[in-house]
Amino acid sequence: MIFGKKKRKEKSPREEKKQSPPGKNKNLASRIASLFKKDGETEAFYEDLEDLLIESDMGGTVTMEISSDLRSRVKKNKISDQEGIIRELRTLVAESVKEDFFEPEEGKLNLFLILGVNGVGKTTSIAKMARHYKNRGVKDIVLAAADTFRAGAIDQLKIQGERTGCRVVAQQPGSDPGAVIFDTISSAKSRGEKLILADTAGRMHNKKNLVLELEKIDKVIKNNLGDGVYKKILVIDATTGQNGMQQAEIFHEAVGVDGIVMTKYDSTARGGLLVSICRRLGIPFLFLGRGEGLDDLTPFDKEVYLSELISLEGE
Ligand X SMILES: Nc1nc2c(ncn2[C@@H]2O[C@H](COP(=O)(O)OP(=O)(O)O)[C@@H](O)[C@H]2O)c(=O)[nH]1
116 binds, among Mg ion, ligand X, none (CB under 5 to 8 A by kind): ligand X
289 binds, among Mg ion, ligand X, none (CB under 5 to 8 A by kind): ligand X
Q: Which residues contact 152 (CB under 8 A, 6 or more apart)?
A: none
Q: Tell me whether residue 119 or residue 226 sits nearer to ligand X (CB atom).
A: 119
The span from the CA of 120 to the CA of 214, in Å, is 17
27 binds, among ligand X, Mg ion, none (CB under 5 to 8 A by kind): none
To the nearest whole angstrom, how small is the minimum distance from the Cβ of residue 267 to ligand X? 5
Nearest to 92 by CA among 60, 68, 75, 61: 68
To the nearest whole angstrom, how small is the minimum distance from the Cβ of residue 44 to Mg ion? 46
Site for Mg ion in 147-186 (CB under 5 A): 153
Q: Tell me whether residue 45 or residue 149 sits nearer to Mg ion (CB atom).
A: 149
Q: Tell me whether residue 116 or residue 272 sits nearer to Mg ion (CB atom).
A: 116
Burial of 187 (0-12, 13-18, 19+ CB in 10 A): middle
- HSE-CB at 221 with a 13 A cutoff on CA atoms is 25
226 binds, among ligand X, Mg ion, none (CB under 5 to 8 A by kind): none
272 binds, among ligand X, Mg ion, none (CB under 5 to 8 A by kind): none
To the nearest whole angstrom, how small is the minimum distance from the Cβ of residue 147 to ligand X? 7
The span from the CA of 315 to the CA of 307, in Å, is 7
The span from the CA of 130 to the CA of 126, in Å, is 6
Which residues would be at the binding site for ligand X (CB under 6 A)? 116, 118-124, 263-264, 266-267, 289-292, 296
Q: Tell me whether residue 122 or residue 132 sits nearer to ligand X (CB atom).
A: 122
Closest residue to ligand X: CB criterion = 289
What is the biggest distance separating any 2 CA atoms in the chain, rounded to whole angstroms? 67
Q: Tell me whether residue 35 or residue 126 sits nearer to ligand X (CB atom).
A: 126
To the nearest whole angstrom, how small is the minimum distance from the Cβ of residue 24 to Mg ion? 25
The span from the CA of 67 to the CA of 74, in Å, is 10
Q: Which of 82, 123, 184, 242 binds Mg ion (CB under 5 A)?
A: 123
Q: Tell me whether residue 63 or residue 123 sits nearer to ligand X (CB atom).
A: 123
Strand order in the sheet with 110-115: 167-169, 141-146, 195-200, 110-115, 229-237, 259-263, 285-289, 297-299
To the nearest whole angstrom, how small is the minimum distance from the Cβ of residue 279 to ligand X? 23
Determine if 124 is a binding residue for Mg ion (CB under 5 A): no
To the nearest whole angstrom, how small is the minimum distance from the Cβ of residue 101 to ligand X? 18
Nearest to 158 by CA among 178, 143, 179: 143
Can you list the alpha helix ranges (DSSP code H) found in the chain?
Answer: 13-18, 29-39, 43-55, 60-76, 82-96, 122-135, 151-164, 177-191, 207-224, 242-255, 273-281, 302-309
DSSP assignment letter at 104: P
To the nearest whole angstrom, how small is the minimum distance from the Cβ of residue 114 to Mg ion? 9
Q: Under the rule (CB under 5 A), what is the footprint of Mg ion?
A: 122-123, 153
